[in-house]
Chain A
Amino acid sequence: MITPSSLPELRDAVLSAPRVIAVGAETKPRLSAVEAVKISTRQLSGITEYEPSEFTFTALAGTPVKNIIAALAEKGQYLPFDPMLVEAGSTLGGVVASGLSGPGRFRYGGVRDFILGVRFVDGMGRLLRLGGKVVKNAAGFDVPKFLVGSLGRFGVIGEVTFKVFPRRESTLTLQMPFEAERMARIANSRFEADALDVLPGGEKMLVRLAGPGKALEVLAKEIGGEIIDNAIWNEIRETRWNFKTDLTPDQITDFKAAHVSCCGNVAFSHTPPTRGMTLRGEFPLWIGGRSRFAIEGAVKQALDPQNRLPTLDD
């Protein structure tokens, strides 16, 4: 394990072995379970820039998300995509490379929707900054987005810039029996729900509302269901799920055993699904295959011509 403590050292680390893979806190260990020298981002930690008035911050890849959440909270801001495994120590770089978003991705989008810029080391050992540091930027190809979910296979992330939002005054959680119709109705309604999840078993669903407390009480009455403790969302976020699957709401009933998040768009499970990705455990990384196009190999060649980083199939 190599433990660089600066971005130039990260670059050297990438060049130091024929095959390397970056790891953060290894909260999704299957993603980095490959034959390669591990580069730990543990010492690449800290918020390098934070401008609350800009709604942006920049932090090194190994920064624990927990620290970021705390720094943002001090200024009344938050990461709307609701990062997972925060208490377990997940790092910002790991969040990006794994592309894992929590239940809050329902309202404003996932990791991909809040990443603005990235400094990363490509397979040739070049430290590159792509994207920008301002909330809006259309210059150049959107490599930061591409690195979301890239599993460290196309570049090693050193530093990331994110957009953040002002934190809402309060949140309120409703629990009710799951019915596909009702869920779609709530999702399409005027309520602007913040999260919409179905609990394992497929019998109950949760609706989270966020905003001024007085307004939420009125909305909750209209939506119906039982008000329960907000703490349930922490449990969902902190659960060490083994698998993740992308789906569409019409497939919810096929994922009864799973926790289905984001109004039927993603499932997290402990038992292997028919298709999906393994986050922990001895299963193949991809379950049930994945689509492959020639462009994947060509982009890999462009960013990492010597295959210094593993491929998506390793």
Chain B
Amino acid sequence: MLSAVHEGRADTPVRSSEAAGRSVRSPLDRFAAILPPDRILMRPVELAAYESDGLTAFRTRPLAVVVPETADEVIAIVRLCHELKLPFVARGSGTSLSGGSLPIAEGIVIALNRLNRILKLNPQQRIAVVEPGVINTQVTTAAAPFGLHYAPDPSSQSICTIGGNVAFNSGGAHCLKYGMTANHILGIKAVLGTGEVVEWGGGSRERLGPDWCGLFTGNEGLFGIALEITLQLLPKAECFHTVLAGYRTLEQAGDAVSAVIASGLLPGAIEIMDALALEAAVAAVHAEYPPGCEAVLIVELEGPREVVAIERERLDAILAASAPVEMRPARDAEERFAIWKGRKSAFSAVGRLSPDFIVQDGVVPRRKLGEALRRIAEMARESNIRVANVFHAGDGNLHPLILFDGREEGALHRAESLAGRILKMCVEMGGSITGEHGIGVEKRECLPDMFTADEIDCMQRLRAAFDPLGIANPGKMFPGKEAPALSHVGLHPLEKAGLISRE
């Protein structure tokens, strides 16, 4: 998949912005009319933090990072980029797992973290209007005193931004029942790649005419920059019933999921972790699981207490009949929190088992989960690579974590080729190459596995409508030619740490 990216690019010199700035008047000087000097970062030490995102195997040093504090500044910056034909990458917290916020060597990064105001919170109407740099959990924290919450809950929710969530249509553990980010966006004000400022939707949950917010959400930063986002808030569920059940085999856990689904219950979340992921969670957050299990299933019901009281009996009966090694219903909020802490820490926890890993994000039809997991295990064995599985079982959304050691010759390539095979399998099974992490840089080459040339052309035409110059996050999502983002692939973190070097 990414193999082409790594080859022969390693020693492209890092462009020196200082050098460029002295002799000729740098186009970057024009930004001084918009921002004070301390919010235009150009020195290598300042840029270092922005060179990579959650896909850490890739780094690129941008020409500069600009740090606007207001929507008007962002608009002025994008319009200047348009005038200069200068590529830009919007950046929230840089937690993208697909390289979505990877900088472009000949462009700038627009860091949006300081646009972090909650502009309005209207509990009567259950909406919030936020700037893009607001952190996901901050919305729920602000809404909590009114008994409300913001439903989309990516595992990264305590650091990722709403702007990033909008760009990637991010998901979380509660998508089956409540949908993804797009399902909670009521309005968007954005500056497009053309410099046009648009405002779609607003406080109403209904709209007339085409769903522009729907089209914008999930654009991966290729249409423009979201400046103000109106979010729908939901009342907090009164009561939860969270059960953790351990199974001897993954297959049994999968069968339990099918039984829950067939029962007509609609749980808020259905998650599975396999043995390796459990081992990681134990090491990282001292989670404790039933011993001897190849898989742990987490099912959560939520609702008014009278409803949950009835449904929990049904759920407990279904799970009891599914031959678990042990069933552990959370007895209080603390135990529930502990179950979720183990689950949500899984990605970072796996980092303790292996110096490097890539997270995949394929989707398969739910009924094929068992088969998919079996085939992933086979492929992993063949490639002699360890794969931990954490997944949103209710959605058929797999997150295989492919472990490798970047210090080993060719290990990254082997990991990537396994990832590519897994994604191909997902498409063959009628699923998708991404459930929530987006295509980014990472899965560009897989797009044709899912879409025909005409379909990709259609999307490229749309992209060109929003951004005719191709300056908004170029090199992402689409395979092939549009790839300036990768003209320089810099140091691997391990190189930076002095652990490896390539002469």
Contact = CB atoms under 8 A, between A and B. Distances in A.
Interface in A260-314: 262, 265-266, 276-277, 286, 290-291, 293-295, 298-299, 301-303, 312
B447 A149 contact: no
B436 A295 contact: no
B458 A137 contact: no
A166 B207 contact: no
Interface in A185-240: 187-192, 211-212, 214-215, 218-219
B262 A53 contact: yes
Contacts of B212: 146
B476 interface: no
Interface string B450-464: 111011001101111
Interface in B240-293: 258, 261-262, 264-266
A244 B214 CA distance: 20
Contacts of A51: 365, 367
Contact of A262 (B169, B198, B205, B363): B205
A244 B125 CA distance: 20
B205 A105 contact: yes
A139 B207 contact: no
Given A126-B454, A139-B439, A290-B209, 5 more contacts: A53-B261, A108-B178, A132-B431, A136-B176, A299-B466
A82 to B, nearest CB: 13
B179 A142 contact: no
Contacts of A113: 179, 183
Interface stretch (A2-10, A16-24, A35-43, A245-253): A245-253
Nearest to A150: B210
B111 interface: no
Interface residues of A, number: 79
A295 B194 contact: yes
A70 interface: no
A266 B168 CA distance: 28
Interface stretch (B8-16, B71-79, B215-223, B339-347): B215-223
B396 interface: yes
B338 interface: no
Given A148-B211, A302-B462, A246 B206 contact: yes
A214 B175 CA distance: 28
Interface in A130-167: 130, 132-143, 145-151, 153-154, 165-167
Contact of B264 (A109, A142, A167, A184): A167
Given A139-B433, A145-B214, A149-B211, A192 B304 contact: yes
A99 B207 contact: yes
Nearest to A248: B203
B165 to A, nearest CB: 11
B431 A184 contact: no
A54 B265 contact: no
Given A54-B367, A136-B171, A299-B465, A122 B458 contact: yes
B329 interface: no
The 9 A-B residue pairs with the shortest CB-CB distance in the complex, in nearest-first order: A145-B214, A190-B238, A215-B306, A298-B465, A266-B206, A302-B461, A146-B215, A166-B264, A137-B432
B459 A141 contact: yes
Given A128-B454, A276-B208, A303-B461, A140 B447 contact: yes
B209 A189 contact: no
A56 to B, nearest CB: 8
B210 A192 contact: no
Contacts of B396: 54, 134-136
A139 B450 contact: yes
B32 to A, nearest CB: 29
A148 B214 contact: yes
A101 B206 CA distance: 9
B126 interface: yes
Contacts of B175: 135-136
Given A128-B454, A134-B365, A302 B465 contact: yes
A110 interface: yes
A141 B218 contact: yes
